[in-house]
Amino acid sequence: MNIFVYERHDWPNFRWDSDTVSEKLAAVRYRQGRFQGRMLALGFQVHDEAALEALTEEVQKSSQIEGELLDREKVRSSIARRLGLETASLLPVDRQIEGIVDVLMDATGRYAEPLTINRLYSWHGAMFPTGYSGLLPITVGHWRTDREGPMQIVSGPYGREKVHYVAPAASRLEHEMEMFLKWFEATDQFDLVLKAALSHLWFVTIHPFDDGNGRIARALSDMMLARSENSAQRFYSMSAQIQKERKAYYQCLETTQKGDLDVTKWIVWFLDCLDRAIEYAEDLLSAVFAKANFWDAYSDVPMNERQKAMLNKLLDGFSGNLTTSKWAKITKVSSDTALRDIKDLIEKNILTANSPAGRSTNYSLKNTD
């Protein structure tokens, strides 16, 4: 018979190998700080667009981990409204998506405000506005009651289910959550990234709600990561990376919940996953960084608006070869004016000709480093 971690006599006194964790933590903290610094050096418009993409990924992938597919464009529209962004088409959004977005925006946007029982209740209520999870009625905005039996995590077909985890009895929840919330808000010596890993594990182990525990646990991680950066702006998505590593995620959780209170493996997995999440965001935003570096390098070079617009198209990945005729068509000027614009940028060492002179000549950026 399995003994779960919360049944240990020293629960919830988690422990870990300090040497192993410290090395991993230092590496991910360095990457986190460097990435945050690079983002903050960019303009507000870039911030907003990057945050919109990261938050959209976070909401969509956190639900996808639980097997729920949300319409990406509707999620994006809901977040865009909250960020005050004008997009080409803001779609109408249903109550469920609005509620899930509300939870993440509250967790990260109000990251410095205390986490309380009522705040968790309101998150849960927002996630399940109809009082149902699928076709099943659930207790909403309050701890589970276990009226239908113990809370279990199972898989497999009916009659041959495999029980992966049995949560603490409902009678323990008030005490368990009181301990958790006191620890979550304590001003101790924990590094906040480490605390993000532990809060995720601790909350999902208690499993205080009938449904939505995984999504709320990930929102709590995001909240603590926002505290670690002292910033409400999110530029990477932990949930998107967890979704990519979903099998390993569940395996590590199950092993940890069936083990003793040494949570080294869970912390190492969480830190590695966070490191990969930031690395992916860096790759995703590499074009943004290159564009920002380009305009920083040429900030003092005089250019007209046509030239700036066409250079932005090249920086964004212009499809096909740029020729004089294409320049003229896009900017709505004569071929002679287009050629003068291009020659001016060649003289300023910004563009280069890729083929012999003539009608077939095409041009590209000379240097985007």
Please give the residue that has the higher pLDDT: either 162 or 94: 162
What are the tens digits of pLDDT across the range 77-125? Answer: 888 888 887 654 556 677 888 989 999 999 999 999 999 999 999 999 9
User: Same CATH topology for 5-287 and 300-365?
Assistant: no
Q: What is the pLDDT at residue 81?
A: 85
Q: CA-to-CA distance for 79 and 331, rounded, in angstroms?
A: 33
What's the mean pLDDT in 31-59?
83
Residue 41 has phi, psi (to 5 degrees) of: -80, -10
Which fold would CATH assign to domain 5-287?
Fic-like fold (1.10.3290)
Kindly indicate the confidence band of residue 357, based on its pLDDT and cuts at 50, 70 and 90.
Answer: low
Q: CA-to-CA distance for 157 and 161, rounded, in angstroms?
A: 6
Q: What is the pLDDT at residue 91?
A: 62
What's the mean pLDDT in 162-167?
90
Q: What is the pLDDT at residue 148?
A: 83
Q: CA-to-CA distance for 264 and 241, rounded, in angstroms?
A: 20
Q: Token digits for 208?
A: 């205080």
Is the model's pLDDT at 348 over the cut of 70? yes
Of 3, 2, 5, which Cα lies nearest the Cα of 204? 5
Residue 367 has phi, psi (to 5 degrees) of: -155, 120
Residue 353 has phi, psi (to 5 degrees) of: -85, 135
Q: What is the pLDDT at residue 149?
A: 86
Q: What is the pLDDT at residue 154?
A: 84
Contact 307, 344 (CB under 8 A): yes
Q: What is the pLDDT at residue 38?
A: 82
Of 270, 289, 221, 268, which Cα lies nearest the Cα of 34? 289
Q: What is the pLDDT at residue 172?
A: 96
Is the model's pLDDT at 359 over the cut of 70? no
| Dihedral (CA of 120, 123, 129, 135) sign | negative
Please give the residue that has the higher pLDDT: either 160 or 175: 175
Contact 291, 35 (CB under 8 A): no
Provide the H-helix boundaries in the chain. 18-40, 44-65, 72-83, 95-109, 117-127, 173-185, 192-206, 213-229, 238-244, 246-257, 264-284, 286-297, 305-315, 324-331, 335-347
Contact 5, 253 (CB under 8 A): no
Query: Taking the domains of the chain in order of start, what are their residue ranges?
Result: 5-287, 300-365
Contact 242, 65 (CB under 8 A): yes
Mean of the per-residue pLDDT values for the chain?
A: 90
Is the model's pLDDT at 292 over the cut of 80? no
| Dihedral (CA of 342, 346, 351, 355) sign | positive
Is the model's pLDDT at 163 over the cut of 60? yes
CATH architecture of 300-365: Orthogonal Bundle (1.10)
Tell me if residue 177 falls in helix, strand or coil.
Answer: helix
Q: What is the pLDDT at residue 88?
A: 43
Residue 284, CA distances (Å) to 50, 84, 236, 237, 239 in order:
10, 23, 10, 11, 16
What's the mean pLDDT in 314-325?
84
Is the model's pLDDT at 171 over the cut of 60? yes
What's the mean pLDDT in 255-280?
96
Is the model's pLDDT at 342 over the cut of 60? yes
Q: CA-to-CA distance for 96 and 126, rounded, in angstroms?
A: 8
**Amino acid at position 31, single letter:** R
Q: What is the pLDDT at residue 323?
A: 92
Neighbours of 334 (CB within 10 A): 10
What's the mean pLDDT in 300-311?
93
Is the model's pLDDT at 49 over the cut of 90? no
Q: What is the pLDDT at residue 339?
A: 93
Q: CA-to-CA distance for 117 and 97, rounded, in angstroms?
A: 23
What's the mean pLDDT in 244-250?
94
Is the model's pLDDT at 358 over the cut of 70? no
Kindly indicate the confidence band of residue 297, based on its pLDDT and cuts at 50, 70 and 90.
Answer: confident
